[in-house]
């Protein structure tokens, strides 16, 4: 990174100049929550992290962790960590679509359960991210954000947030025969404004109460599939118990005379 010593500006290319920004970080109470939750989760979920790492390694060739540069607080870049969910080396859009062939079978399960995001607890512990905040975006897509939406880059990105929870079911881009440009334009013009509106509503009052509320909402969302599976299992068991026994005359075959 090149810095203009006279003005304190960051040179993003040979001609383009971008001022350095401190950005807007979380309050001390939210930062304390970040450290406590991320450290505790890393310790408690260590067996789960190990199992997921083994599943990724056995599911397809390539590295276990996916590393990528994202836009951080005040537009400062940082490296994000995730469990790899795609086949390495495959090109394509910066965003995934509903029938994206780049996603591995193990990756689809990790994405559906949110387990691929667990390594970002390291980013939170380091201070790159916070528990609740805007989605961390790639620089390539961030440069194409609508101007009114780019304000979210002043804030520290989060592991979860209002947009990640409330738009998760809708945040599935159509696949089919769409080109890379079509998919990215649809993402930037349709999903980004909706997400930004939700994120800014939270960032206008990022209190500890609202932060904990979104964490609980995220947990409830991720546990919904488990709850559905348990309810189906209980319904089958209850149905088997409630089924009346057949009369003895119907159960025993008639003897031939």
Number of domains forming the structure of the chain: 1
Helices (H), the chain: 28-44, 46-59, 105-113, 120-126, 139-142, 162-166, 180-186, 192-203, 208-242, 248-251
Residue 206, token pair as written in the block: 């990022």
Tell me the pLDDT of the chain averaged across its residues: 82
Considering the domain boundaries, does residue 119 fall inside one? yes
Q: How distant, in Å, are the alpha carbons of 173, 190, 197, 209, 222 from that of 170?
A: 8, 11, 15, 26, 15
Considering the domain boundaries, does residue 248 fall inside one? no
What pLDDT score was predicted for residue 113? Answer: 87
C-beta neighbour count of 199 within 10 angstroms: 24
Considering the domain boundaries, does residue 3 fall inside one? no
Considering the domain boundaries, does residue 50 fall inside one? yes
153-197 pLDDT tens trace: 999 999 999 988 877 655 555 555 456 667 888 889 988 999 999
Q: At what angle do helices 208-242 and 28-44 cross, to 10 degrees?
A: 40
What pLDDT score was predicted for residue 135? Answer: 92
Question: Could you give the CA distance from residue 118 to residue 137 in angstroms, rounded to a whole number?
Answer: 17
What pLDDT score was predicted for residue 12? Answer: 43
What pLDDT score was predicted for residue 1? Answer: 45
What pLDDT score was predicted for residue 11? Answer: 40
What pLDDT score was predicted for residue 239? Answer: 67
- Give me the residues of the chain with pLDDT under 50, please: 1-17, 177, 256-257
Domain enclosing residue 172, as ranges: 22-223
What pLDDT score was predicted for residue 180? Answer: 63
Residues near 240 by beta carbon (within 8 Å), at least 6 away in sequence? none
Considering the domain boundaries, does residue 246 fall inside one? no
Considering the domain boundaries, does residue 9 fall inside one? no
Whether 79 and 68 have beta carbons less than 8 Å apart is answered as: yes
Q: What is the pTM of this model?
A: 0.78
DSSP 17-81: EEE----BPPPHHHHHHHHHHHHHHHHHTHHHHHHHHHHHHHHSSS-SEEEEEEE-GGG-EEEEE
Considering the domain boundaries, does residue 78 fall inside one? yes
Residue 234, token pair as written in the block: 């209980």
What pLDDT score was predicted for residue 93? Answer: 78
What pLDDT score was predicted for residue 4? Answer: 41
């Amino acid at each position: 990174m090149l810095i203009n010593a006279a003005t304190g500006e960051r040179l993003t290319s040979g001609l383009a100049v971008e001022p350095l920004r401190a950005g807007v970080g979380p309050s001390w109470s939210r930062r304390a929550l970040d450290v406590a939750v991320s450290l505790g989760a890393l310790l408690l979920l260590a067996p789960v992290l190990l199992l997921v790492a083994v599943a990724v390694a056995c599911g397809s060739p390539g590295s276990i962790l996916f590393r990528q540069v994202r836009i951080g607080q005040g537009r400062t870049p940082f490296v994000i960590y995730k469990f790899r969910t795609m086949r390495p080396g495959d090109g394509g859009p910066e965003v995934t679509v509903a029938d994206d062939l780049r996603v591995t079978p193990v990756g689809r399960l990790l994405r559906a359960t949110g387990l691929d995001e667990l390594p970002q607890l390291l980013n939170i512990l380091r201070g790159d991210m916070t528990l609740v905040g805007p989605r961390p975006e790639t620089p390539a897509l961030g440069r194409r954000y609508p101007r009114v939406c780019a304000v979210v880059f002043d804030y520290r990105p989060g592991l979860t947030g209002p947009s990640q929870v409330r738009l998760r079911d809708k945040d599935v881009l159509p696949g089919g025969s769409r080109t890379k440009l079509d998919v990215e334009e649809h993402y930037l013009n349709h999903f980004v404004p909706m997400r930004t509106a939700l994120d800014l509503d939270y960032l206008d009052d990022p209190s500890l109460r609202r932060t904990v509320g979104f964490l609980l909402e995220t947990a409830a969302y991720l546990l919904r599939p488990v709850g559905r599976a348990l309810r189906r299992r209980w319904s089958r068991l209850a149905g088997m118990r409630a089924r009346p026994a057949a009369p003895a005359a119907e159960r025993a075959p008639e003897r031939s005379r």
